Amino acid sequence: MTGIVISSRRILRELRIYACCVLAALLVNVYSIVRFNTQWKELLTTLHITLAVACVFYVLLAIVRGAAFCTRLALRRKTG
Amino acid sequence: MIPTRGSLPHGLRGVMDFDSSSAGMQGRADRREFLKRLAVVAGSSALIAELPWWSPLRAEPVAEAASDRVRLGLVGVGTRGNLHISHLLRTPGVQLAALCDDYDPHLQAGLARVNGAKGFSDFRHMLDMPDLDGVLIATPLNQHARMCLDAFSAGKHVFCEKSLAYTIEECQSIADAYRGSKRVFQIGHQRMFSPVFLRALELVRSGTIGQITQIRAYWHRNGNWRNPIPDPSLDRRLNWRLYREYSCGLMTELASHHMQVANWFLGAHPLSCVGYGSINYWKDGRELYDNVNVVYRYPNGTHVIYDSLISNKFYGMEVQVMGPKGLIEAEAGRLYAETPPPAPGIVQLINSIEHGFFDTVPIGGPTWVPDLKRDTRGVALVHDDNSGDDGTGISLAAFANAIRLGQPIPAMMEQACHSGVCVLMGQTAMEQQREVAWPEGFRI
């Protein structure tokens, strides 16, 4: 069985992507607080929901990135 | 603003978290610690400061020296009497010096639980004990008045189980005797000392549910309400709650608790009442109703609706205090806001997206939606109350402290008379099938 090696560069990149997802989820939270006229303290009190939404964003992004990777791979094989 | 999960008035929550299961010396030490904490809280709470019957609790319990102990006698060693024994054995500064019951098996069982208590079969002989400070009366209803009057005459302080008396005239006699006695009187309405009911009152006073527009109270059980008896000849004596000679049944034995709460929360006594009662299921020779329905009319057009039956227990018991902004279920300890606080914005956003995806598109719908009960869990009035005490233990400690301090509490007699007269009005309304008014000239 072949071991899978994940480079530190790759881990750092994934963490940066997740951080972007958290930021995006926070912005969504800000939008929802403004739209539904609720309290600003929800930025803290609903942090668990924000992190969960960030995970959803990350998974959706992973699907998109996977699809892009597969497309690129297919094109490379076709041209190469 | 609708409060979220509540705390007890001024930190009573922490005080109530004590282990009530321990017995004997350890239990007494726990209770002493509990009462010390209670004294601090009772001295600092604005709400409690308004409730005169809490004032004796501001004094810390005294040391265990024999000279400092309040010596009490208990008459009626039945179910309720035994519960009092359990509480009194854990109450610091109290000595249960005498027990009295004219049913010997009960008396002997009680004496076996209380070291050093003297036994009596005649209440008047117990009153002759010169070093007895007060008496607790837990006998059938028809004996309350005579015993209260005898006790006041003998210079004893009195704790009387609810309901106050068998007739309205007897209620008046007790109030008159109390007025001249300068003795402590307490009624066994333990909800006056219940932290959950205190929190409910606090919410009512703060306007959380708005003006009280109606109170609905009920107490449902499913059983014949009979105690096991060793011999049929003892039926009337041990199942006195079923016979008119001794009691007014569901009204005096159950309804009095909730009517006390209603009077207390509304700050008034009813103006009149109407009602119906019958024996429609337990047709076993009993004389008192097995189901009762009474409507009380209060000032400002407020109504209290009470019903009780012993043939279905699905709904159990409850006092529902209703206002335009919310409903409090005091027994369950929950508050239901008419307009619940909105969910966090992000949850609302997620829900709206979800509805956009999964909701069906209505083509035609009902023009009328049934007003069914809203399916909501509401908000707890208090955090976990680990005291295991519905207020009975606290009320007995308050009684003992009031005796020690020599501090009669007239408001207690007012509560006793209001609830006692209330339930007797209801019983009369049902028996005579007419509207019964609050007795004119009744003086507390």
Report CA-CA distances (Å) from B427 to B277, B291, B353, B358.
8, 12, 58, 57
Q: Is A50 on the interface with B (CB under 8 A)?
A: yes
Residue A34 lies in a domain: yes
The pLDDT of residue B60 is 67
Q: Tell me the percentage of chain A whose pLDDT exceeds 90.
A: 88
Q: Testing the interface with B: which of A37, A38, A49 to mutate, by most B Cβ within 10 A? A: A38
Query: Is B23 in contact with B29 (CB distance < 8 Å)?
Result: no
ipTM score for this prediction = 0.84
Cβ atoms of residues B428 and B438 within 8 Å: no
> Which residues in A lie closer than 8 A to residue B350 (C-beta atoms)?
49, 53
pLDDT at B399 (0 to 100): 95
Which tokens go with B415? 């509560």
Write the secondary structure of chain A as one string of H (helix), E (strand) and C (coil).
CCCCCCCHHHHHHHHHHHHHHHHHHHHHHHHHHHHHCCCCCHHHHCHHHHHHHHHHHHHHHHHHHHHHHHHHHHHHHHHC
Q: What pLDDT is stored for residue B356 in this prediction? A: 86
Model confidence at B66, in pLDDT bands (50, 70, 90)?
low
Residues B286-290, mean pLDDT to the nearest whole number: 98
Region B74-95: what's the mean pLDDT? 94
Residue of A nearest to B342 (CA): A38
Q: Measured between beta carbons, which residues in chain B are less than 8 angstroms from residue A28?
A: 346, 349
So what's the pLDDT on residue B124?
96
* A69 domain residue, yes or no: yes
Q: Which chain B residues are Cβ-neighbours of A45 within 8 angstroms?
A: 344
pLDDT at B20: 43
Q: What is the pLDDT of residue B65?
A: 65
- The parent domain of residue A46 ranges over 13-79
Provide the mean pLDDT of chain A: 94
Does B238 have pLDDT greater than 80?
A: yes
Which residue among A32, A45, A53 places its CB closest to the CB of B348?
A32
Check: CB of residue B290 under 8 Å from CB of residue B311.
yes
State whether B347 and A46 contact (CB < 8 Å).
Answer: yes
Q: Does B369 touch chain A (CB under 8 A)?
A: no
In a domain, A6, yes or no: no
For residues B81-108, average pLDDT: 95
* Backbone region of residue B45 per phi and psi (left: phi > 0; alpha: psi in -120 to 50; beta: other values): beta
Yes or no, beta carbons of A29 and B347 under 8 Å apart: no
Q: Hey, of B346, B352, B354, B355, which one would you mutate to test binding to chain A, going by the most A CBs within 10 A of its CB? A: B346
**What amino acid occupies position A65?**
R
Residue B293: both structure tokens together: 């329905």
Predicted local confidence at residue B62, as pLDDT = 64
Q: Provide the percentage of residues in chain B whose pLDDT is more than 90.
A: 72
**Residue B399 phi, psi dihedral angles, 5° rounding:** -60, -45
Evaluate if residue B4 carries a pLDDT over 60: no
pLDDT for B55 equals: 87
Q: If pLDDT is split at 50, 70 and 90, which confidence band does B192 have?
A: very high
What confidence score (pLDDT) does residue B92 get? 86
Among B125-129, B199-203, B378-382, B402-406, the minimum mean pLDDT is found in: B378-382
Contact state of B344 with A38 under an 8 Å Cβ cutoff: yes
Structure confidence at residue B19 (pLDDT): 44
In-domain check, residue A20: yes
Residue type, B94: V
Q: Which tens digit of pLDDT belongs to each residue from A7-42? A: 999 999 999 999 999 999 999 999 999 999 999 999
pLDDT beyond 70 at B164: yes
Contacts of residue B349, Cβ cutoff 8 Å, sequence gap at least 6: A28, A31, A32, A35, A36
Burial class (CB in 10 A: 0-12, 13-18, 19+), B163: buried
Would an 8 Å CB–CB cutoff place A46 in contact with chain B?
yes
Is residue A1 included in any domain, yes or no?
A: no
Give B334-380 pLDDT, tens digit per residue.
999 998 778 899 999 999 998 888 877 777 766 777 788 877 888 99
Residue A22 lies in a domain: yes
Question: pLDDT band at B46, cuts 50/70/90?
Answer: confident
Please compute, for residue A45, the number of CA atoms within 13 A of its CA located in the half-sphere on the CB side: 11
Interface contact flag, A32 B342, Cβ < 8 Å: no
pLDDT for res B41: 62
pLDDT score at B5: 43
Residue B34 has pLDDT above 80, yes or no: no
Cβ–Cβ contact B342 with A under 8 A? yes
SS (H, E, C) chain B: CCCCCCCCHHHHHHHHCCCCCCCHHHHHHHHHHHHHHHHHHHHHCHHHHHCHHHHHHHCCCCCCCHHHCEEEEEECCCHHHHHHHHHHHHCCCEEEEEEECCCHHHHHHHHHHCCCCEEECCHHHHHCCCCCCEEEECCCHHHHHHHHHHHHHCCCEEEECCCCCCCHHHHHHHHHHHHHHCCCEEECCHHHHCHHHHHHHHHHHCCCCCCCCEEEEEEECECCCCCCCCCHHHHHHHCHHHCCCCCCCHHHHHHHHHHHHHHHHHCCCCCEEEEEEECCCCCCCCCCCCEEEEEEECHHHCEEEEEEECECCCCCEEEEEEECCEEEECCCCEEEECCCCCCCHHHHHHHHHHHHHHCCCCCCCCCCCCCCCCCCCCEECCCCCCCCCCCHHHHHHHHHHHHHHCCCCHHHHHHHHHHHHHHHHHHHHHHHCCCEECCCCCCC
Say yes or no: B344 contacts chain A, CB-CB below 8 A.
yes
Look at residue B385 in the predicted model and tell me its pLDDT. Answer: 64
Residue B341 makes CB contacts below 8 A (sequence gap 6+) with: B2, B4
Residue type at B272 in one-letter notation: S
Inform me whether the C-beta atom of residue B346 falls under 8 Å from chain A C-beta atoms: yes
Chain A contact for B353 (CB, 8 A cutoff): no
Tell whether omega for the bond before B181 is within 30 degrees of 0, i.e. cis.
Answer: no
Contact B346 A49 (CB under 8 A): yes
In 3D space, the residue among B278, B266, B273, B277 whose CA is nearest the CA of residue B319 turns out to be B266
Interchain contact B366–A (C-beta under 8 A): no
Is the model's pLDDT at B47 over the cut of 80?
yes
Q: Are B146 and B152 in contact (CB under 8 A)?
A: no
Contacts of B333 (CB under 8 A, 6+ apart): B196, B199, B200, B380, B381, B382, B385
Determine the distance from the C-alpha atom of residue B343 to the mean position of all C-alpha atoms in its chain, rounded to a whole number: 37
Number of domains observed in the structure of chain A? 1
B263-288: average pLDDT: 98
Interface test with B, best of A26, A32, A55 (most B CBs within 10 A): A32
Contact of B92 with B35, CB cutoff 8 Å: yes
Give the integer Cα–Cα distance in Å for B127 and B133.
10
Q: Is A52 on the interface with B (CB under 8 A)?
A: no
Condensed to tens digits (0 to 9), the pLDDT of residues B324-342 reads 999 999 999 999 999 877 8
- Give Cβ neighbours of residue B230 (< 8 Å, ≥ 6 apart): B105
